[in-house]
Amino acid sequence: NAGVTQTPKFQVLKTGQSMTLQCAQDMNHNSMYWYRQDPGMGLRLIYYSASEGTTDKGEVPNGYNVSRLNKREFSLRLESAAPSQTSVYFCASSDRFGTGATNEKLFFGSGTQLSVL
Protein backbone atom coordinates (compact mmCIF):
# COMPACT_ATOMS: atom_id res chain seq x y z
CA ASN A 1 0.00 0.00 0.00
CA ALA A 2 1.65 3.21 -1.20
CA GLY A 3 -0.53 5.66 0.77
CA VAL A 4 0.86 9.18 0.23
CA THR A 5 3.85 9.50 -2.07
CA GLN A 6 6.00 12.63 -2.20
CA THR A 7 8.78 13.49 -4.60
CA PRO A 8 11.57 14.41 -4.41
CA LYS A 9 12.90 13.31 -1.02
CA PHE A 10 15.76 15.81 -1.08
CA GLN A 11 16.35 18.98 -3.05
CA VAL A 12 18.92 21.77 -2.99
CA LEU A 13 18.06 25.03 -4.72
CA LYS A 14 19.78 28.32 -5.23
CA THR A 15 17.97 31.50 -4.24
CA GLY A 16 15.58 32.50 -6.99
CA GLN A 17 15.19 29.07 -8.54
CA SER A 18 11.79 27.48 -8.87
CA MET A 19 10.61 23.95 -8.26
CA THR A 20 7.48 21.87 -7.77
CA LEU A 21 6.97 19.29 -5.05
CA GLN A 22 4.73 16.47 -6.15
CA CYS A 23 2.27 14.58 -3.96
CA ALA A 24 -0.08 11.74 -4.82
CA GLN A 25 -2.36 9.59 -2.69
CA ASP A 26 -4.02 6.33 -3.63
CA MET A 27 -6.62 6.18 -0.83
CA ASN A 28 -9.35 8.10 -2.67
CA HIS A 29 -9.21 10.88 -0.07
CA ASN A 30 -11.00 14.14 -0.65
CA SER A 31 -8.74 16.43 1.38
CA MET A 32 -5.06 17.07 0.86
CA TYR A 33 -2.61 19.33 2.67
CA TRP A 34 0.89 20.78 2.49
CA TYR A 35 2.79 21.44 5.71
CA ARG A 36 6.26 22.67 6.48
CA GLN A 37 8.18 21.67 9.60
CA ASP A 38 10.92 23.82 11.07
CA PRO A 39 12.94 23.11 14.22
CA GLY A 40 11.13 24.15 17.37
CA MET A 41 8.02 25.32 15.53
CA GLY A 42 5.93 22.27 14.78
CA LEU A 43 4.15 21.68 11.51
CA ARG A 44 2.54 24.70 9.87
CA LEU A 45 -0.11 24.50 7.18
CA ILE A 46 0.85 26.11 3.89
CA TYR A 47 -2.16 25.30 1.70
CA TYR A 48 -4.92 22.76 1.69
CA SER A 49 -7.49 21.38 -0.70
CA ALA A 50 -10.70 20.28 0.97
CA SER A 51 -11.89 18.60 -2.20
CA GLU A 52 -10.99 18.28 -5.85
CA GLY A 53 -11.23 21.66 -7.52
CA THR A 54 -10.72 23.77 -4.40
CA THR A 55 -7.63 25.16 -2.68
CA ASP A 56 -7.27 27.48 0.29
CA LYS A 57 -4.51 29.24 2.11
CA GLY A 58 -3.24 27.96 5.40
CA GLU A 59 -1.13 29.67 8.01
CA VAL A 60 2.00 30.38 5.92
CA PRO A 61 1.07 30.59 2.19
CA ASN A 62 3.39 33.41 1.09
CA GLY A 63 5.90 32.35 -1.55
CA TYR A 64 3.98 29.21 -2.50
CA ASN A 65 1.34 28.15 -4.98
CA VAL A 66 -0.57 24.90 -5.23
CA SER A 67 -2.48 22.93 -7.80
CA ARG A 68 -5.01 20.19 -7.14
CA LEU A 69 -4.46 18.43 -10.43
CA ASN A 70 -7.09 15.76 -9.78
CA LYS A 71 -8.38 13.86 -6.79
CA ARG A 72 -5.09 12.00 -6.38
CA GLU A 73 -2.52 14.74 -6.88
CA PHE A 74 -1.72 17.97 -5.08
CA SER A 75 1.45 19.85 -6.00
CA LEU A 76 3.29 22.66 -4.24
CA ARG A 77 5.28 25.19 -6.25
CA LEU A 78 7.98 27.58 -5.14
CA GLU A 79 8.24 30.24 -7.84
CA SER A 80 11.35 31.99 -6.53
CA ALA A 81 12.95 30.09 -3.69
CA ALA A 82 14.31 31.97 -0.67
CA PRO A 83 16.56 30.74 2.17
CA SER A 84 13.59 31.17 4.54
CA GLN A 85 11.90 28.33 2.67
CA THR A 86 14.55 25.87 3.79
CA SER A 87 12.46 23.31 5.64
CA VAL A 88 11.01 19.82 5.62
CA TYR A 89 7.79 19.66 3.64
CA PHE A 90 5.06 17.12 4.26
CA CYS A 91 2.06 16.34 2.15
CA ALA A 92 -0.92 14.75 3.87
CA SER A 93 -4.37 13.51 2.99
CA SER A 94 -7.55 12.64 4.82
CA ASP A 95 -11.00 11.41 4.12
CA ARG A 96 -12.57 11.38 7.53
CA PHE A 97 -11.32 14.68 8.92
CA GLY A 98 -14.06 17.08 9.84
CA THR A 99 -16.73 14.42 9.68
CA GLY A 100 -16.72 13.72 13.39
CA ALA A 101 -15.90 10.11 12.71
CA THR A 102 -13.85 8.41 15.40
CA ASN A 103 -11.29 7.19 12.89
CA GLU A 104 -10.43 10.59 11.47
CA LYS A 105 -6.74 11.11 10.93
CA LEU A 106 -4.13 12.52 8.58
CA PHE A 107 -1.94 10.28 6.48
CA PHE A 108 1.44 11.85 5.78
CA GLY A 109 3.95 11.36 3.04
CA SER A 110 7.57 10.69 3.97
CA GLY A 111 8.62 14.32 3.51
CA THR A 112 10.90 16.43 1.33
CA GLN A 113 14.03 17.99 2.80
CA LEU A 114 14.53 21.26 0.92
CA SER A 115 17.58 23.49 1.28
CA VAL A 116 17.74 26.90 -0.36
CA LEU A 117 21.22 28.39 -0.55
Q: Before 8, cis peptide (omega within 30)?
A: yes
> Between 44 and 72, whose beta carbon lies closer to another protein?
44
CA-CA distance, 65 to 90, in Å (whole number)?
Answer: 15
Compute φ and ψ for 84, nearest 5 degrees.
Answer: -65, -15
Contact 30, 50 (CB under 8 A): yes
> Between 19 and 43, whose beta carbon lies closer to another protein?
43
Instruction: Find the binder of another protein among 27, 84, 105, 117 (CB under 8 A).
Output: 105
How many chain residues bind another protein (CB under 8 A)? 25
Q: Is 110 in the site for another protein (CB under 8 A)?
A: yes
CA-CA distance, 65 to 77, in Å (whole number)?
Answer: 5
CA-CA distance, 8 to 1, in Å (whole number)?
Answer: 19
CB 30 to another protein: min, Å: 11
Instruction: Find the binder of another protein among 43, 61, 65, 86 (CB under 8 A).
Output: 43
Contact 21, 36 (CB under 8 A): no
Instruction: Find the binder of another protein among 1, 42, 53, 62 (CB under 8 A).
Output: 42
Q: Could you list the residues that contact another protein (CB under 8 A)? A: 31, 33, 35, 40-45, 48, 50, 56, 58-59, 90, 97-98, 102, 104-106, 108-111
